[in-house]
Structure 1
């Protein structure tokens, strides 16, 4: 059974941590999104953190990565050891305009960071170890300070050893409020994930060659907020906002509602003119906000359903309770518009990003001889799978260099609009995520799309998807597939805004 990162003894993989600066200073290369910069942790230059104004309104949050127990499998199965940022669910709520000051402490037995998924934040706060900051080693701390520019529904998670850490539950939710023109009576956060556990609560393999090289390794313990088919009590006749987040590492969800009409009002946290919901496809890391009116009869239930299955799967239920609220006829209200720069499509330069299987293994650094004479294969060192299956534009991660980060796939000029045409040359779905920017999905070779803002978009087999954005956030940013096994076996790269 795979051990938790919070409980692993020293192994060949973790021997690198005990060597500390000796190994880091060796400048041997990079691993799984955690590139070792030449000169090591002490001499690496990282982007400068933003300066918080003296009069800033600040939301202070303590986040500690710890091991804890949760009753996932049904009793009499024992509780399962999981990872979390606290002893309970972590949901941070900010008001638009507030700064977040998040003091992160790592109590795991391997390094970690926090990536703030979907936030257009300064490069220094993006949480990618060895690219935007030094890794937070066991027992160390790091403080993130930034002011989210956009309202919406976001989440945060580690960005190294992600299969292990996210697969054991290490994630939290960030909600930036202030986008509603008409308040809802209830705001419900629904976090979807599969757990790779059996009926006894024991972990099954989080990553397999068969899964990593195809559609991903799937769990069978489907949960919302860590519960199997929970029932949430909400006001009868009330207006409900459902914030649905898919934080699974592989599973695709076709989100639907049975028992009431619903409208999609936000995608990846970004406002969308209300769209009547039939189903909405969400790959890993994607989010959708819904608005709906609950039935007036107390005890009536509506269902959240996943249609991406041979048979529809009920994920959760909402039950009307209490005296029905007196409301006028329901008309879905649009959220306040986003302040994201609108891309100027006419004359915009197009960059093609090709998703493919890797034709050759990644060029890894040489083996490392430890002080005791044993040999550490560098692919085992931090968080890179020793196997490579995927590539972006023919380049698997890591790239050819042994001493520095792989070169950017592309450099965009700051302030210009770009169209990225994502071309899926594989027989599998890939949800592609850009750090640092929010893009507009503008077209697909498979048919019409509803133009919408997103930070992650699904690209189906043999599909071409076009997205557009203004490259207004300087720095080196990650771009990768958010099926985490694909990310960690090659489908990841860097793009630069300069």
Structure 2
């Protein structure tokens, strides 16, 4: 794809504009338009123009309610909560080595924060109220500034009242581009998300006791990029990199590109030796990058399908447009390796982490909480169903943050043995670290780097880190109802 002319608006100007339809198109994102009768058309996406090394990328993220359309008429627009004037939005693209300065403007009626999911950043920038920063109150601003050390497909979302705010769309995309990545003809973003909507476009219940204590409360409307079965245009006969995100609060997906040979080239933004896309279930917050060849002639289509269900479920269509690009051999190439610290497994202590239900669900008197020092810590539910190592969060009546699950010595390597003692799936996420998935007692595991891993029922799975990033880091299930009802804690690296 050609570079944008020098006279084009600057990256900073585009990001400040805030609209995903405008900024994403100009920055090589999805180029989204407003949904029309349940279908969304995405423009062609190409590489972002290279910017000067060390350039500061600035963006203002205004979290507030916006009336946006998800369902076709006669349903009305829905009261989404977003960081920009459309969903998804914004899509921030930057080069590895650039610095990000993101200003959160809280236009909500409650405090909030931004967690930068999957990024190995300083602890003070991690965005967890009370643990790493004071909450950003209504009307306040908070500036996050860091240089992502790794390229990859990341995203960001709140870490307070997440079940409702993420449920209503409060999320954005951060893509850090590799300086020497294999060239592609289009680079598209596909965010898979369900919405809890009735037929009029109004939101239903985001959390139920039944869902929270079992597999979660599922949405009623499935979308990609906020649209029902959108049509995403790709250059005919082009090589397409699709960044597939599961940003749902509950649902597990296993995606296929029907009609094409597709290869996984990254997991959670981390390079993976190319392997066929023939089974990689993704829990909430997990991502994969895939490479495939678009159909050779304009008008021909491929289908993005979720096969993690009783029957395959179509989610989106890739449609070839424009003159057919010249024929060339389709050969998936590996992405450049990331400089993730390699754990020393020979000298690594094994830390058990058992994910279980609580023996007895606990209820707390919400009316008594506001006067306590940490009463609002992480905006938790007043009920507890889950535990890690028999320790539930909240505990002790919310008087204070609980002690860490474990304290690690800075610079030493550790193996976490994740044991699922429940009959439900749990996508387990560790803040601030990219861990190495090692082995499982229940299935064959491809060793890889990730920030979130899907733990199957009754499975014991081992992951390893080198504890090089000091601070208090959240460690939790990313099914948000499980997180908010006890299946979360934090590790301390000191």
Interval of TM-score (by shorter of Structure 1 and Structure 2): 0.7 to 0.9
The equivalent of 1:65 in structure 2 is 63
In structure 1, the residue matched to 2:477 is 481
Could you tell me which residue of structure 2 aligns to residue 139 of structure 1?
139
Task: Give the superposition deviation at 1:469.
Answer: 1.1
The separation in 1 between residues aligned to 2:489 and 2:264, in whole angstroms, is 31
| Structure 1: distance between partners of 2:375 and 2:483 | 14
Alignment of 1:219-238 (within 5 A): 219-238=219-238
Whether the 8 Å contact between 2:128 and 2:378 is mirrored in structure 1 is no
SS in 1 for 2:255: strand
Do the aligned partners of 2:106 and 2:139 also contact (CA within 8 Å) in 1? yes
Report the secondary structure of 2:165's partner residue.
helix
In the TM superposition, residue 232 of structure 1 has moved relative to its aligned partner by 0.7
Q: Which residue of 2 is the match for residue 445 of structure 1?
A: 441
Alignment correspondent of 1:217: 217
Q: Give the secondary structure class of the aligned counterpart of 2:124.
A: helix
Q: What pairs with 1:97-496 in structure 2 (closer than 5 Å)?
A: 97-178=97-178, 180-361=180-361, 367-368=367-368, 383-400=379-396, 402-496=398-492
Q: Which structure 1 segments of 5+ residues have no match?
A: 1-54
Q: Is the 8 A contact 1:380 1:386 kept in 2?
A: no
Note if contact 1:256-1:280 (Cα within 8 Å) is conserved in structure 2: no
Residues 303 and 318 in structure 1, CA contact (< 8 A), matched pair in contact too: yes
How far off is 1:206 after superposition?
0.6
Q: What is the TM-score of this pair, normalised by structure 2?
A: 0.86
Distance 1:414 1:298 in 2: 55
Measure the CA separation in 1 of the matches of 2:110 and 2:366: 22
Gaps of 5+ in 2: 1-52
Shift of residue 379 of structure 1?
Answer: 7.2
Change (3 A) 1:122 1:218: same
**Matched residues, number:** 439
Query: In 2, are the aligned partners of 1:363 and 1:400 still within 8 Å (CA)?
Result: no
Query: Shift of the alpha carbon at 1:200?
Result: 1.4
Query: Partners of 1:58 and 1:323 in 2: how far apart?
Result: 37
| Residues 407-443 of structure 1: per-residue CA shift (max 9 Å, x gap) | 0110111111111010000010000000010001111
Post-superposition shift, 1:297? 1.8
User: How far does the alpha carbon of each residue in 1:245-269 deviate from its partner, in whole angstroms, 9 at most, with x for none?
Assistant: 0000000001111100010000000
1:87 alignment counterpart: 85
Q: Distance in 2 between matches of 1:56 and 1:326?
A: 36
Q: Is the 8 A contact 1:362 1:398 kept in 2?
A: no
Q: How high is the TM-score relative to the length of structure 1?
A: 0.85
Alignment check: 8 A CA contact 2:233 2:321 kept: yes
RMSD value over aligned CA atoms? Answer: 1.9
Q: Is the 1:435–1:479 Cα contact (8 Å) retained in structure 2?
A: yes
Q: In structure 2, do the counterparts of structure 1 residues 179 and 440 end up closer, same or farther at CA, with 3 Å as the change threshold?
A: farther
The 1-side partners of 2:262 and 2:180 are apart by: 16
